[in-house]
Amino acid sequence: MAQERVVTSAWATARYLREAAPDLERVLVVGAGGLLRELRAAGFAVVPAASVAAALRRGEPDGWQAAGRPGAVVVGLDPALTYLRLAAAADAIRAGARFVATNRDPVFPMERGLRPGAGAIVAALEAASGVPPTVIGKPAGRLLELAAASVGRSAAEAVMIGDSLATDLPAARAVGARAVLMLTGVTRQEQVEGLSPELRPDAVAADAAELAKALDALAEAAPTA
């Protein structure tokens, strides 16, 4: 698949900031290398939270000042998160920097089980700063809208394939897209059965074969122009 056909929450966040705040220059980032690269590619002066945490460790009293007074704090998944990285970001948000989150996924599955997701970090900063973030990825619909626009279509025409009742399904509903829930990640069949009819996905699949059948059925049921 060509690189330009892949839309990530990091790319969408950089694009959103470039369009929503054209005069924004300096950004403090709590996140991994991919998010740093996307923001730099969009023309921002990126300050990694790790460098600000080091300044706080040396005795700097304020994370916002130590970061060069950034106009925004962008938060994604940071596997090397530390208390001082959180402190630096919270300082900047309280000082008035925009608070932007790539997504609110609370966990993500790995081979050895669930690990904290970006949403867990976002929640900690929201609690520490008292400021709600602008969310680009799931459960907000902005990422789906940008992905659909990149191929010249409406998000309402799309089928969202995901494994989370907390983020994937709400994102699909936010843009009017159909949704297939996979049971290969964080959601179990009994959780689906406990949903009220209006909250259930359009289809549920336990594996790739069931996913293929679900997509065929949705395609057959789609209205023709």
What digits encode the pLDDT tens for the residues 67-126?
999 999 999 999 999 999 999 999 999 999 999 999 998 988 788 888 999 999 999 999
Structural domain for 205, as ranges = 155-219
- Quote the pLDDT of residue 183: 95
- Quote the pLDDT of residue 3: 64
Structural domain includes residue 144:
no
Q: Do 118 and 192 belong to one domain?
A: no
pLDDT at 203 over 90: yes
Would you say 107 and 115 are in contact if contact means Cβ atoms under 8 Å apart? yes
Structural domain includes residue 225:
no
143-183 per-position pLDDT tens digit: 899 889 888 999 999 999 999 998 899 999 999 999 999 99
Q: Report how far Cα 198 is from the mean position of its chain's Cα atoms.
A: 25
pLDDT at 129 over 90: yes
Q: How many domains does the chain have?
A: 2
Distance, CA of 139 to CA of 144 (rounded, Å)? 10
**Element spanning 146, H or E:** helix 142-149
Domain harbouring 118, CATH code: 3.40.50.1000
Q: Do 172 and 100 belong to one domain?
A: no
pTM of the model: 0.84
